[in-house]
Amino acid sequence: MSYAAYKMMHWPTGIENCASGFVTHSRADFAPQIPPIQTDDLESEWPAERQTGPLPNLIVTAANILEVYVVRVQEEDIRESRVTAETKRGGVMAGISGASLELVCQYRLHGNVETMTVLPSGGGDNSRRRDSIILAFQDAKISVLEFDDSIHGLHTSSMHCFEGPEWFHLKRGHESFARGPMVKVDPQGRCSGVLVYGLQMIILKASQAGYGLVGDEDALGSGSAVSARVESSYIINLRDLDMKHVKDFTFAHGYIEPVMVILHERELTWAGRVSWKHHTCMISALSISTTLKQHPLIWSAVNLPHDAYKLLPVPSPIGGVVVIGANSIHYRSQSASCALALNNYAVSFDNSQEMSRSSFSVELDAANATWLSNDVAMLSTKTGELLLLTLVYDGRVVHRLDLSKSRASVLTSGIAAIGNAFFFLGSRLGDSLLVQFTSILSSSVKEEIGDIEGDIPSAKRLRKSSSDALQDMVNGEELSLYGSAPNSTETSQKTFTFSVRDSFINVGPLKDFAYGLRINADPKATGVAKQSNYELVCCSGHGKNGALCILQQSIRPEMITEVELPGCKGIWTVYHKNTRGHNVESTKMAAKDDEYHAYLIISLESRTMVLETADLLGEVTESVDYYVQGCTISAGNLFGRRRVVQVYARGARILDGAFMTQDLPISESSSVLSVSIADPYVLLRMSDGNIQLLVGDPSTCTVSINIPAVFESSTKSISACTLYHDKGPEPWLRKTSTDAWLSTGIDEAIDGSDGAAHDQGDIYCVVCYESGGLEIFDVPNFNCVFSVDKFMSGKAHLVDTLITEPSEDTEKVMSQTSEEVAGQGRKENTHNIKVVELAMQRWSGQHSRPFLIGILTDGTILCYHAYLYEGLENTSKTEEPVSAQDSLRTSNVSASRLRNLRFVRVPLDTYTREEVSSGTTSPRMTVFKNVGGCQGLFLSGSRPLWFMVFRERIRVHPQLCDGSIVAFTVLHNINCNHGFIYVTSQGFLKICQLPSGSSYDNYWPVQKIPLKGTPHQVTYFAEKNLYPLIVSVPVLKPLNHVLSSLIDQEAGHQIENDSVGSDELHRSYSVDEFEVQILEPEKSGAPWQTRATIPMQSAENALTVRVVTLFNITTKENETLLAIGTAYVQGEDVAARGRVLLFSVGKNTDNSQNLVSEIYSKELKGAISALASLQGHLLIASGPKIILHKWTGTDLNGVAFFDAPPLYVVSLNIVKNFILLGDIHKSIYFLSWKEQGAQLNLLAKDFGSLDCFATEFLIDGSTLSLIVSDDQKNIQFVLGIFYYAPKMSESWKGQKLLSRAEFHVGAHVTKFLRLQMLPASSDRTSATQGSDKTNRFALLFGTLDGSFGCIAPLDELTFRRLQSLQKKLVDAVPHVAGLNPRSFRQFRSNGKAHRPGPDNIVDCELLCQFEMLPFEDQHEIAQQIGTTRVQILSNLNDLSLGTSFL
């Protein structure tokens, strides 16, 4: 039997749904924050009344990922505007200099979100209520989620499921449906409608606020937020209302009761019958009374065109709906109607009255739309153009519709307007954009905009200064560059200008990918380091969003120099600022970030080296007063970079440049273990488990030792500690204190007297004890402001111990904890887990919140993100009077506890644990503020990691190319701009920079190369390091050219011109033209060079390109050639033909014409859809047959064929002499090739029908399995039954392939790649005995959602252990939106008869939740399944080690 694990490695990025709503805050939260408009400066340019107003959240879904963002706006500051306007992306517009999206929370759901909407809470701009998110899942599951401040995340408020036996009658005998559930919501939030199973409408009634709920207003006043909720649901069967084919529905604005407008088709028609039967659609408006459960029809409109597909409700005060069709747009309301024809195909119902036509021709099928104002809608077409639709109205009557062109942009999957100043273009096919818009009256601004448009230098300047690499890809007319051209169609029309403010990278849809060597690969690397020599080159995107994505799972830095340096223990770089220029310098913040480092301190085993970091690294150890006789523990800057502090085992030195100003012996009895520096304090952890604090005096630049009184008397020994510097214009932790007078601004008055120490922010000390507790103290008074028991158990949320439980539960809790401690003692003695290192850091950014990261002895990394929760006051009433007196009595500013501070645990995706040896360890975490424009922290060790912080989210990127890293520090000087230095365990010191072309705000580092066309297939030519790639570009051609190419040349038919009018012959028509480009990677960051292109003939599509090795039977040697299979696409009247082309790739000369030369081409019957080389022969799938050819050097001769009835071969895979072929409709065939009889034999096939997407062999030791993915987003394993299955009765004597495992991936898998697994840590010992472990391959796969995953074989013991864990976790973990992981992973057969196969794949998406459980729960679950926590974690660890391919 074969067992496997399914593991996601890169989550989906293609955004399918987007919506906006007040989810994490209410509208009222914004009221006081709108700044007064500075009339003097802005009056001239912009209308003063425009304000951005309350900004809602943005909610996006990509397959099964749900993310909530908040829009952060940087208001333009009048004083700085002249300086900073250039640096922000998009310049200054409407008083806003920039905007970005910041992540609030992210969830991976056990189900793909079909549709999503936001249930508004109703109420005006001062409403304190919040909105909720409604998600609909396949077949008929609906979840309502609301944001909970206390956990800083979403929780499910209600679930509605209409599946299962008791709801079978809703399906009316149908098994498959054209689309999943569709959810829409009433604009005032009174109810929501969900269309399931085609014709069943579920009405979700929202609970009304303030109706009979006693004290509702009081609850709101006390600070807890109330979100919109769903109270009940009922079903309307639309069949009873005589509706047959519902296309869309929506809720209209401006009615007293909710009014649902439904677009449906009475009788179906199709393209061939349109001339007889055309206006088949109609709309019906139902008034929904949720209390009476009645729905009377109030108005309807008939005779809408058959291609109408979308309804757009018009906002108040106009009301009514806009019906969007492919060729026309109609407006309908109770009182008025008008229409607009978009092209020549639009006809009115009875051809009598002439429809008004738009000034240009456009097709609107597959458009998305949103409202920019109450009378202007923005439509995004299938070509990525943005159109503005204006309703010209008088009172509530619409007279006519105007359509005007605006900008070009990405191909969208959805648009959401965010407030009245932004909209978001969500895209599956390209990068999604956040765009700011502003409207201006066209008369006054005509000439001004003309200037912007004509002023090319300003555009170039914006483009160069843009921080984003995406900017440079986009040509002039695209939205991504600069303002908008005026719409010259109407003088009365509003003109909009746009500015792109932020963007999300998308690597989907992945059609194909190739696995090739990186530019800076190291040929000598071995083991894990060898894997980071490779990268994935992927075909992604479509049309003008088409691009090559270069993905690398691990970072490979660009090396500047390397030096051999054995025995290094640590490295530090320090600044030196001379005292004279101090005051001048500190005022210029800009200069501070760009200051170069002065010295590099290297600690060796028994001495310390000091180097100058000017243009050359020169050693100055002899001429400086640094302590050089022993090793250094740490070094850093104090007093605003005027002094350097160097700490060694028994003392510390303060230096001014090269000269010592103070030498401070610390302790005779114990030595310093670890150091944390936060200007002007230095925290030392001693070997006797105590703490010492060095306090600096900025006026004299000296330090003195202070042992905090708290720790002098305490017996608890400390395992880790760190200082946290709460920097920034407004210290964040101060907000979490409960003293009102602290946070209102009186503290500025108090602190004003004692100088500028406090504008630097506050300093805190975070301490972890051996017992596992964590406390935060303020410095230098050491009052405890926050404490948590058992920090190391990794709870999901950390709350201050004083306010965890209300009073009545305390006795119960006390007794429970004492028992737990006793039970814990027995268990923990065996593990002896404690925190070995802590870091707390808040990176720059106006709204950033601190992260707290701890490393445990068993290698677990706990990462927490702080948040603010102002809970109900009554929980902490008990000690309130005391604290109030205290705070008045003590003059200290932060005497009160940080009662509103909480931490939420953040999951870390890709990291592997490493056990910490029992001895003392050197610190592993190094915080960096700017390395190549990124900020975060670096974790050294045997598998080093980069933690990078983007939009308040941590991205983890491993760095494997040098193996283990001992020490790391940043370096910024003339030769190495914002770079870094690290020392490997082999004793090499390397000075590097981050690769510049890559973007790190993604699951994996990615570089996008725009192609301006659709990429279809890519392959890797290893000998020459080239990537042949099929690209198609749409080209406009006259219709008569297109028609003439559809003639069958052999039959010589004449074209029948009678059906086509003469004027139509000269109209242009878009045709895809194919070519094969041969690309060569450039040095990193640069665009790739096209070395050669191979054009196809007209109407010829290139279907496959492969590098094949053929045995030339005349010269008796192997040749590596490029093979291309094509097909002529000439319509259904011409018999299909295709060509096989063979090219030889010459030397890499500069003359690109000689690079590839065609050596053979042959036309065959049928499309050549797949090619492969089989033991020196060429295997060609041409139409319904497979032919094997031998190569003579000038000709291909057929030697064997197989005539199965495949319709169209999607993929061919070959191992030794076995062939696996997947058919578009007839599932898979398993063949073998015998040399002696020259025959292709069918070994077995799958007798069922399956629409294959991709196939591959999975090799586990000596077991060969066949894997296939299908159109229902499943993966199936079929076992290579060639060995033993002929004995099994159900395999029909071996003819039938049996399913061994099946699994629902939830995405269309387009390509499998077989890669050898790496030996994991536990295998190294046993690898010698059994070769099974070494001959083990996993399959890496890519999907249309932009995700990557792998299928990795498991041995039976591991599989059984993980499977029983998986069954436990289904119940043990609370699942977001109440989704069941087991039902998500069940095989979907879409109504076809299917015999369920065995469940032999474990789901690592569910298993990774185990690491997020608290330790106690992990132990308990492990015990229940009869194993240990360590064993489970090591299995999961081995799996991620074995599959780190890139």
pLDDT digits (tens, 9 = 90+) for 534-568: 999 999 999 999 999 999 999 999 999 999 999 99
Residue type at position 1032 = S
Q: What is the pLDDT of residue 707?
A: 85
Residue type at position 1131 = G
- Tell which residue, 960, 957, 1007, has the closest CA to residue 533: 960
Q: Are the CB atoms for 14 and 1345 separated by under 8 Å?
A: yes
Helix axes 1356-1372, 1429-1442, angle to 10 degrees: 110
pLDDT at 853 exceeding the cut of 90: yes
| DSSP per-residue string spanning 440-500 | EEHHHHHHHHHHHHH-HHHHHHHHHH-S-GGGGG--TTBTTSS------S-SSSEEEEEEE
Averaged pLDDT, 1250-1277: 89
CA dist., res. 381 & res. 96, Å (int): 28
pLDDT at 734 exceeding the cut of 90: no
pLDDT at 1274 exceeding the cut of 90: no
For residues 463 and 779, the model is more confident at 779
Averaged pLDDT, 393-402: 89
pLDDT at 85 exceeding the cut of 50: no
CA dist., res. 635 & res. 646, Å (int): 4
Q: Which of 668-682, 1050-1064, 1120-1134 has the lowest mean pLDDT?
A: 1050-1064
Averaged pLDDT, 687-715: 86
Q: What is the pLDDT of residue 1059?
A: 56
Secondary structure of residue 1249 in the 3-state scheme:
coil
For residues 904 and 51, the model is more confident at 904
CA dist., res. 184 & res. 117, Å (int): 6
Q: What is the pLDDT of residue 178?
A: 87
CA dist., res. 491 & res. 950, Å (int): 44
Which residue carries 């190319």 as its tokens?
961
C-alpha distances in Å from residue 252, one per residue of 206, 230, 284, 1283, 1350: 17, 20, 11, 65, 46
Tokens of 225: 């937020």
C-alpha distances in Å from residue 782, one per residue of 936, 1319, 1408: 28, 49, 39
Strand order in the sheet with 953-958: 925-931, 934-939, 945-950, 953-958
- 597-647 tens-digit pLDDT: 999 999 998 999 999 988 788 899 888 899 999 999 999 999 888 899 999
Most confident of 453-462, 551-560, 753-762: 551-560
CB atoms within 10 A of CB 131: 29
Peptide bond into 36 cis (omega under 30): no
Q: Are the CB atoms for 671 and 684 separated by under 8 Å?
A: no
Q: Are the CB atoms for 1278 and 1259 separated by under 8 Å?
A: no
Q: What is the pLDDT of residue 593?
A: 63
Which residue carries 């990615």 as its tokens?
1006
What's the whole-model pTM score?
A: 0.90
CB atoms within 10 A of CB 1411: 18
Binning pLDDT at 50, 70 and 90, where does residue 920 land? low
Cβ neighbors of 256 (< 8 A, separation 6 or more) are none
Averaged pLDDT, 4-24: 95
Cα Rg for the chain, rounded, in angstroms?
34
For residues 524 and 1317, the model is more confident at 1317
Which residue carries 């939106």 as its tokens?
1377
pLDDT at 807 exceeding the cut of 60: no
% of the chain with per-residue pLDDT over 90:
55
Where does residue 251 rank: exposed (0-12), middle (13-18), buried (19+ CB within 10 A)?
buried
pLDDT at 440 exceeding the cut of 90: no
Q: Which of 807-821, 949-963, 1010-1024, 1253-1267 has the lowest mean pLDDT?
A: 807-821
pLDDT at 255 exceeding the cut of 90: yes
Averaged pLDDT, 800-819: 47
Which long-range CB contacts under 8 A does 617-622 form with residues at least 24 apart? 620/658
Which residue carries 């998500």 as its tokens?
1384
| DSSP per-residue string spanning 339-402 | EEE-STT---TTS-SPPPB-SS----TT-EEEEEETTEEEEE-TTSEEEEEEEEEETTEEEEEE
Backbone angles phi, psi at 81, to 5 degrees: -60, -35
pLDDT at 157 exceeding the cut of 80: yes
- Tell which residue, 448, 384, 394, has the closest CA to residue 415: 384
Q: What is the pLDDT of residue 224?
A: 55
Q: Are the CB atoms for 1273 and 1241 separated by under 8 Å?
A: no
Binning pLDDT at 50, 70 and 90, where does residue 470 land? very low
pLDDT at 181 exceeding the cut of 70: yes
CB atoms within 10 A of CB 1067: 14
pLDDT at 1121 exceeding the cut of 70: yes
pLDDT at 34 exceeding the cut of 50: no
Q: Which of 175-184, 546-555, 721-730 has the lowest mean pLDDT?
A: 721-730
Q: Are the CB atoms for 92 and 81 separated by under 8 Å?
A: yes
Give the H/E segment covering residue 1418.
helix 1415-1424
Q: What is the pLDDT of residue 709?
A: 81
CA dist., res. 2 & res. 984, Å (int): 40
Q: What is the pLDDT of residue 589?
A: 43
Distance of CA 96 to the CA centre of its chain: 27
Strand order in the sheet with 397-408: 368-373, 376-380, 385-394, 397-408
Averaged pLDDT, 1106-1114: 95
CB atoms within 10 A of CB 1117: 9
CA dist., res. 598 & res. 603, Å (int): 17
Averaged pLDDT, 648-652: 91
Tokens of 500: 């792109």
CA dist., res. 446 & res. 452, Å (int): 10
Cβ neighbors of 325 (< 8 A, separation 6 or more) are 304, 305, 307, 308, 309, 346, 364
Reduced to 3 DSSP states, what percent helix, strand and coil does the chain have, rounded to the nearest 5? 15, 45, 40
Q: What one-character DSSP code corresponds to residue 212?
A: S
Helices (H), 211-255: 216-221
Binning pLDDT at 50, 70 and 90, where does residue 1008 land? very high
pLDDT at 32 exceeding the cut of 70: no
- 1223-1249 tens-digit pLDDT: 999 889 999 999 888 899 998 888 888
Q: What is the pLDDT of residue 355?
A: 84
Q: What one-character DSSP code corresponds to residue 94?
A: T
- Tell which residue, 899, 872, 902, has the closest CA to residue 795: 902
Q: Are the CB atoms for 147 and 129 separated by under 8 Å?
A: no
- 1139-1189 tens-digit pLDDT: 999 999 986 655 556 789 999 999 999 999 999 999 999 999 998 889 999
Task: Count the residues in the chain.
Answer: 1446
% of the chain with per-residue pLDDT over 70:
81
Q: What is the pLDDT of residue 892?
A: 38
Mean pLDDT, the chain, whole residue set: 82
pLDDT at 328 exceeding the cut of 70: yes
